Structure 1
Amino acid sequence: HFSTFFLFQTSHSPVEPHSRVMLFREVLGRSLCRSMERLVEVEQEYPGGVEYIFSPACVPLWRCAGCCGDENLECHPTLTRNVTMQLMRITPTERTGQYVELTFVEHQTCECRHRKMHLNESSPRVRIHPRRRKHRKRSKDCGKCQHPHS
């Protein structure tokens, strides 16, 4: 039956009876750029599979994360590997599912690298007025392509 493909699990973070203060060195060491296990949505790695539902919906992958100590730097992978996992691919319209193997990229080692400049972060540019475009023939059935007339 369709609903048997979904398993629900709850987990709780470990609770210590007497919580201690995490010292600066440990906080710093645990916050620096490194590879750590993260839950990543399958849909994020395999976009466009809207006709299917994957179970589980997210998978544990080692990915680079953490702070670099300089806002001009960000954490990037230096060594990656492929890992293949078996998931259930469910077709909701047919109420069927089958096991599939999907390959994901894991980050093995990481380092801080200079951020790539994005357009909105780049230095101000001199604005040049665009040239007027000549009227082009447009397909009659392409409503999205046509600009509204003023």
Structure 2
Amino acid sequence: MKRTLSALAKNEPGVLAKLATEFGKSEANILSLAAGETENPEISRIVLRLEGDDAAITAAEKYLDSLDVIVQIDDLSRKDFVDRELVMLKITMKPESTGQLMQIFEVFRANVVGMGQDTITVELAGDQERVEGLIQMLKPYGIKSMCRSGMIALKRGDE
């Protein structure tokens, strides 16, 4: 099972290192971890995409909530939320495949951000399904390198 947790934490040195070290002891696997400053520079939002059984993820959530640096924690999986991820891909480009690649980029609304003699670099920001879809479409052309930001997420609505 996969779940998405969003935690507000005090913006202090060592918070992510402490969190990652402790998660290494749990049965929950971190699929994605993204952290950044919020509208309040003293608070950071940490978004964790976790995989594991219900007991392991619940234990991980309780552990997070027990840390003195955690201000608030939400299990977004049980709420309506918006998520995004940024991916950058460097794709092998052959003259005979350029047209097909450009069509794929257009369908996914991916932006070309760089070109070399034999490669083309694109970026896409979207939900994880869209990112995964682009990656699957580009695999046959040869993905030379890829970098993913990890999921960021916020609850929908006025909460």
TM-score by length of 2: 0.21
Return the structure number with greater strand share.
2
- Greater radius of gyration (CA): 1
Higher relative contact order (CA 8 A, sep 6+): 2
Return the structure number with greater helix share.
2
